[in-house]
Amino acid sequence: MKKKKVLVVVGPTAVGKTALGIQLAQKFGGEIISGDSQQVYRGLDIGTAKASPEEQAAVVHHLIDVRDVDESYSAFDFVQEATQSIEQIIEAGKVPIIVGGTGLYIQSLLEGYHLGGQAHHEEMMTLRKNLEALSDEELFARVTQEIPELNRRRAVRFLELEAFGTGENQKPDYEFSILGLSSERSELYARINSRVDQMMDEGLLQEAKFLFEGYPDVQAAKGIGYKEFFPYFAGECSLIEAVELVKRNSRRYAKRQLTWFRNRMNVDFYDVLSMDYPENAIMCAKEFLNMEERSEK
């Protein structure tokens, strides 16, 4: 049975994922599924860098504004709801395009970790954490089969499948093409700093204050861009210090995102500063989908 095709756009914060996702959706008749753990929350628009109202009007978006700020959201929830969205989009004759930077969520969808329910997913995550704490020697010693070009990622994947089974029903019935965006580090960090300044101009502080005063202990309040302002509201630091902390934590998060995508997922990366970007990424998507671009209006 031929698998259904899904495009995925990943990369660090502020690299330009939203823009490429919209371009792809417009060229190939797609709809976007947000792959971000914070964009699900209603009322948190600026700090989560949601697509603007104009962007959401141009292309249909899914999994944005689907939770109140006092509700929890997990990788299990994401995979369940993203799968539903994928089916709805395909049924409508459109191309599903997942756009986001939450590596755990996207990898969980790609590898089918949701099957078996929340408890099964948590067991998988516990096993992975324990395996990744091992040294290379200890990890590789647990692999009982000959695996070409054995590395940590392949070893962990083998042991996960060995522990939880390899039946066909554990893999999603989709074929994914993952387009990763990257940039030279200094340029990426400059983009992050600039975006935080823009968020401040747009009202980030008011969103953070809303959480601090009404929902200081919820999951949403622990996101980068919000938690850093809590010491400022408590009189423990200056606003300048809080903003610099947001920038620093955002830069560190971007580095972690890139590490995740490079080490754990099969991603084709595109430098957003290269002369042939985004044309090469769009061409890759076209070849994967085996379809023509829509004519420009």
pLDDT band at 271 (very low <50, low <70, confident <90, very high): very high
* CATH value of 187-253 in 3.90.940.20, 3.40.50.2300, 3.40.50.720, 1.10.287.890: 1.10.287.890
- For residue 48, say whether it is annotated as part of any ligand binding site: no
CA-CA distance, 85 to 6, in Å (whole number)?
A: 11
Mean residue pLDDT across the chain: 89
Q: Domain coordinates of the chain in residue numbers?
A: 117-171, 187-253
68: tokens are 């109140």
- For residue 14, say whether it is annotated as part of any ligand binding site: yes
248: tokens are 């620093």
Task: Decide if 132 contacts 156 (C-beta within 8 A).
Answer: yes
- For residue 16, say whether it is annotated as part of any ligand binding site: yes
pLDDT at 144: 73
119-173 confidence digits (pLDDT tens): 556 677 788 788 888 888 888 888 876 666 678 877 887 777 667 654 444 556 8
15-46 confidence digits (pLDDT tens): 999 999 999 999 999 999 999 999 999 999 99
- For residue 79, say whether it is annotated as part of any ligand binding site: no
114: tokens are 């949701």
Question: Hey, CA dihedral for 41, 197, 251, 22, is it positive or negative?
Answer: positive
Q: Compare 80 and 97 and report the one with higher pLDDT.
A: 97
- For residue 126, say whether it is annotated as part of any ligand binding site: no
Q: Compare 195 and 72 and report the one with higher pLDDT.
A: 195
* Residues 6+ positions from 270 with CB-CB distance below 8 Å: 179, 180, 181, 182, 277, 278, 280, 281
CA-CA distance, 120 to 56, in Å (whole number)?
A: 34
- For residue 12, say whether it is annotated as part of any ligand binding site: yes
192-206 confidence digits (pLDDT tens): 999 999 999 999 999
- For residue 11, say whether it is annotated as part of any ligand binding site: yes
